[in-house]
Amino acid sequence: MNQAKSFSQQIETHPEIAARFPDLHPPFDRQAAVTEANRCLYCFDAPCTAACPTHIDVPAFIKKIASGNTTGSAKTILEANILGASCSRACPVDVLCEGSCVMHRYNKQPIEIGRLQRYAMESLYDKGLPHPFTPAADTGMKVALIGAGPASLACAAELRRRGVATTIYEASSLPGGLNTYGIAEYKLPLAESLREIDMLTQLGVDFLFNARVNAGMLVELERTHDAVFLGMGLGAIHKLGITGEELSGVTNALDFIAGYKAGEILSVPERVVVVGAGNTAIDAANAAVRLGAKQVHMIYRRGPDKMSAFEFEYEHARQEGVQFLWHVQPTRILGAGNVEGLELVQLSATDDGSLIPQAGTEYSLPVELVILAIGQATHTSFLGETIKLERGRIAADHATGQTSNPKFFAGGDCTNGGREVVDAVADGKRAGVAMAAWLEAQHANA
Ligand code: SF4
């Protein structure tokens, strides 16, 4: 690590944010964890393990909790998922491991795998023990990784465990990507994301911050490194392209979430609209409620059956008090200097699924803050022509992450268009293992 302070020492959670965004699911204490672990049936060919993109051996880590071996439990988790702590909080367990738990078949509550995983990981980190893994002997090979999000972190960890030197180039001033800046604080606090990365630095991963890689720099990295991993995620959130988008009071969901997590946004106006219906849109809408908005609307062009947010996130937002307006589209943001309202029009769907604005249905919603959450653009313009894209995403082999240029590997949102943290970790892990094997083969053939 190049800096005097650890990452988690460089930033403090604002007390007001900590108070307004307490844990959604409080942690288990020892007794509760052991009791829950003892409910597990330790299934053979466990469906929970199959459902996890990183294939954590769930029955094995739960059994170790039941027998009091929490350090061994955390090690089992880390073998499969180097970001096991943040994934225990950020994963949509209802649709992954817990969603596939056999307990559902017996009309019983699924095992609380996420909370047990968190218990094991936090037990390890709270003890202040060194990271259970150590780097292998230096192979003399080195890899540059673009972006310090979950995919690059997982890839770098695998490479370090195989003796490959790694340097991560990150455009912002802290690591973690969406893990640090983009997930609701009541799910994954910024400080927890950084604490986990502090542990990772013990493997000897180097970071260069405020380093935005452009086309020229990428050519140089290719020349000076044995391979390059592309894990830079996605780019800016799309704009609506309507009048008034330049007004003060229009922002995007990622900036908004990062702003409050960093303690730079502590309150919002009374009336807020979030445009979009994905999981990030929900995180932004819930945050607006918790930051003091009296009225928060989410608006979406289609109906609830088509929203990309998970069902449990939708239910959570309704419980928080978010109101939903379906089949509407913004046509104009109103105001002079500051946002004062949002003009909407009702949409109807044709037989082929196209959406048609209905003349005469326009109306305006009084609002002082508009948050855009309508998907992110790709961030690939700096890549050379030897790296092929498919529908704007980097085309990479699923098993290895290797791209059309064999020296470049890729994973995470820049290849899958924006999925879960655990998917990015799985991509990075696969790519790290494959890169190390590819580098060894290149070395042997040299
Ligand atoms: Fe335990 Fe449920 Fe996984 Fe079976 S499916 S091993 S009961 S968590």
100 CA: nearest ligand 1 atom: 5
Read off the amino acid at residue 146.
I
Distance 284 CA to ligand 1 centre (A): 33
Q: Can you name the CATH fold of 142-234+377-445?
A: FAD/NAD(P)-binding domain (3.50.50)
Domains 142-234+377-445 and 250-372 share a fold: yes
Does 194 contact ligand 1 (Cβ within 6 A)?
no
Q: Whose CA is nearest to atom 1 of ligand 1?
A: 40
**CATH of segment(s) 250-372:** 3.50.50.60
CA–CA gap between residue 199 and residue 129 (Å, rounded): 9
Residue among 91, 94, 98, 102 to mutate when testing ligand 1 (max atoms within 8 A of CB)? 102
49 CA: nearest ligand 1 atom: 3
42 CA: nearest ligand 1 atom: 6
CA–CA gap between residue 208 and residue 146 (Å, rounded): 10
Does 43 contact ligand 1 (Cβ within 6 A)?
yes
Q: Give the pLDDT confidence score for residue 254 in this predicted structure.
A: 95
Residue among 94, 103, 107, 108 to mutate when testing ligand 1 (max atoms within 8 A of CB)? 103
> Where in the chain are the domains?
22-126, 142-234+377-445, 250-372
Does 375 contact ligand 1 (Cβ within 6 A)?
no
Q: Whose CA is nearest to atom 3 of ligand 1?
A: 48
Phi, psi of 407 (to 5 degrees): -80, -10
Model pTM score = 0.94
110 CA: nearest ligand 1 atom: 2
Distances (CA, A) of 86 to 8, 78, 108, 146, 163: 14, 11, 27, 21, 25
Q: Has domain 22-126 been given CATH number 1.10.10.60? A: no
**pLDDT per residue of the chain (446 residues) written in tens, 0 to 9:** 445 689 998 888 999 999 999 999 899 999 999 999 999 999 999 999 999 999 999 999 999 999 999 999 999 999 999 999 999 999 999 999 999 999 999 999 999 999 999 999 999 999 988 899 999 999 999 999 999 999 999 999 999 999 999 999 999 999 999 999 999 999 999 999 999 999 999 999 999 999 999 999 999 999 999 999 999 999 889 999 999 999 999 999 999 999 999 999 999 999 999 999 999 999 999 999 999 999 999 999 999 999 999 999 999 999 999 999 999 999 999 999 999 999 999 999 888 888 999 999 999 999 999 999 998 888 898 998 889 999 889 999 999 999 999 999 999 999 998 899 999 999 999 999 999 999 999 988 87
Q: Give the pLDDT confidence score for residue 3 in this predicted structure.
A: 56
Q: Give the pLDDT confidence score for residue 446 in this predicted structure.
A: 74
Q: Give the pLDDT confidence score for residue 1 in this predicted structure.
A: 44
Q: Whose CA is nearest to atom 2 of ligand 1?
A: 101
Q: Is 282 within 8 Å of 309 (Cβ atoms)?
A: yes
Distance 94 CA to ligand 1 centre (A): 13
Distances (CA, A) of 154 to 50, 176, 218, 379, 431: 19, 11, 21, 20, 9
Q: Give the pLDDT confidence score for residue 351 in this predicted structure.
A: 84
The structure tokens listed for 87 are 């994934």
Q: Is 165 within 8 Å of 440 (Cβ atoms)?
A: no
Residue among 36, 55, 91, 111 to mutate when testing ligand 1 (max atoms within 8 A of CB)? 111
Q: Give the pLDDT confidence score for residue 353 in this predicted structure.
A: 81
Distance 60 CA to ligand 1 centre (A): 10
Distance 63 CA to ligand 1 centre (A): 11
* Non-local CB neighbours of 104 within 8 Å, separated by 6+ positions: 110
Distances (CA, A) of 181 to 19, 160, 220, 235: 18, 25, 29, 14
* Non-local CB neighbours of 284 within 8 Å, separated by 6+ positions: 253, 256, 257, 274, 371, 373
The residues with which 142 forms a beta bridge, in sequence order, are 165
DSSP state for residue 137 in the 8-state scheme? P
Distance 426 CA to ligand 1 centre (A): 21
